[in-house]
Amino acid sequence: MSDSTIAMNPRTPEVNRHLTVVDRRRTRDSSEQRRRATAVVYCEANFGAIDGKTANGLVRHSEKYRIVSVIDSQKAGLDAGAVLGERPNGVPICCDLADALAQVGDLPDYFIFGMAPASGMLSSHERGLVLEAIDLGMNVVNGLHEFLNDDPVFAAASAAKNVRILDVRKPRAKKDLRLFSGRIAEVACPRIAVLGTDCAIGKRTTATILARALNDCGVKTVLVGTGQTGLIQGARYGVSLDAIPSQFCAGELEATILEAFEGENPDVIVIEGQGALSHPAYSTSSFILRGSCPDAVVLQHAPRRVNRCDFEHMAMPSPADEINLIQLFANTKVIGLTLNHENMTDVEVSAAITRYEAELGVPTTDALTRDPQRLLEMVLLAFPELKRVAGTQ
């Protein structure tokens, strides 16, 4: 399943084994979660859907915030984990802010706007809701293209209540933006970009699971975020590429990867993808390929998605076509395919894995319903030198 789509698939023993691994990880992380800032996520009429990908991603994974509730009146009363097709996680979905606060008890530290509408702007109703949260004394996390700190009304309200507004997408001042320098060649470890055949298809989720699987086996891996959701989740290194003037996109990403390499000395750097290289509405994939000069690419695809998101007359490309385009565009190699299982049964996912491996000649898996070991094997097959670090031969 993608960050953005509800999946109600029957669980096979393999899926249950994977979920048990997830449960153990959640138990291991529970004490750390309690130390994180608390947050309620607003996602009216969009939780589990494409435009709710920020909320979906935060419920699945957040290093920075402990999500205590989600606001979506259409799914009020349900468990957020269950709505995403996973095991219940105890995060309630509430009908409005008052309901969310009543269920939580204590005032959350943050109000997160958890939707990514195509307009990138707040509606008049949403403006009022954010101002209400500020008036209650909640800090605000805003991932939209509309920067609330630049709005006199929001600036005055936050100053009056002594709260912070975090405009996650806002780039640094133009005088501080960096051009591509070619220093990406100094990054000695493998750089793996997770790209896709469409937007909102699960690239960030797959990149997160891949980075975690590598770290869990001893291969030190840093995930570089390239969008607002990854930054909100707490990526230590990242830049929201779609808010940066195009002249500086490749340079800003290159500089961020250099910072990660020099600051962490990792064995692998994973770069989150955006959009799709073949998609005419997005240019971010091209900047990611140019700025990171990846040694390898993992491609994410939704077999049952017929049309591009928000473009009903634009057919989805085949994985083979996207792979050919990527490898023609950049000096890199696609080392594996990962699937978004929206609208698929588990049996259909297994059949698709078998079919694509035969058709494309690369390892194929579903990061959410299959063992993360399969992602690890995908990388170790492409970079066998990492087996020594991972302790496998």
**Residue-wise pLDDT tens digits, 107-152:** 999 999 999 876 778 999 999 999 999 999 999 999 999 999 999 9
**Residues 252-269, mean pLDDT to the nearest whole number:** 98
Q: Is the pLDDT of residue 20 over 50?
A: no
The label of the residue with tokens 């195009």 reads 246
Q: Is the pLDDT of residue 13 over 80?
A: no
**Residues 64-76, mean pLDDT to the nearest whole number:** 97
Q: What band does 22 get if pLDDT is binned at 50, 70 and 90?
A: very low
Domains of the chain: 29-167 (3.40.50.720), 175-390 (3.40.50.300)
Per-residue pLDDT at 117: 75
Q: Is the pLDDT of residue 1 over 80?
A: no
Per-residue pLDDT at 59: 96
**Residues 283-300, mean pLDDT to the nearest whole number:** 97
Most confident of 6-20, 26-40, 269-283: 269-283
**Residues 337-354, mean pLDDT to the nearest whole number:** 97
**Residues 286-301, mean pLDDT to the nearest whole number:** 98
For the whole model, what pTM was predicted? 0.88
AA identity, residue 23: D
**Residue-wise pLDDT tens digits, 169-206:** 999 999 999 999 999 999 999 999 999 999 999 999 99
Q: What band does 60 get if pLDDT is binned at 50, 70 and 90?
A: very high
Per-residue pLDDT at 50: 86
- Compute the mean pLDDT over every residue in the chain, rounded to the nearest whole number: 91
Per-residue pLDDT at 392: 61
How far is residue 345 from each of residues 102, 225, 299, 370, measured CA to CA in Å?
37, 30, 21, 13
Residues 6+ apart with CB under 8 A from 324: none
Q: Is the pLDDT of residue 332 over 50?
A: yes
Per-residue pLDDT at 21: 44
**Residues 45-51, mean pLDDT to the nearest whole number:** 92
**Residues 285-311, mean pLDDT to the nearest whole number:** 97
Q: What band does 105 get if pLDDT is binned at 50, 70 and 90?
A: confident
- Three-class secondary structure assignment of the chain: CCCCCCCCCCCCHHHHHHHHHHHHHHHHHHHHHHCCEEEEEECCCCCCCHHHHHHHHHHHCCCCEEEEEEECHHHCCCEHHHHCCCCCCCCEEECCHHHHHHHHCCCCCEEEECCCCCCCCCCHHHHHHHHHHHHCCCEEEECCCCCHHHCHHHHHHHHHHCCCEEECCCCCCHHHCCCCCCHHHHCCCCEEEEEECCCCCCHHHHHHHHHHHHHHCCCCEEEEECCHHHHHHCCCEECCHHHCCHHHHHHHHHHHHHHHHHHHCCCEEEEECCCCCCCCCCCHHHHHHHHHCCCEEEEEECCCCCEECCEEEEECCCHHHHHHHHHHHCCCCEEEEEECCCCCCHHHHHHHHHHHHHHHCCCEECCCCCCCHHHHHHHHHHCCCHHHHHCCC
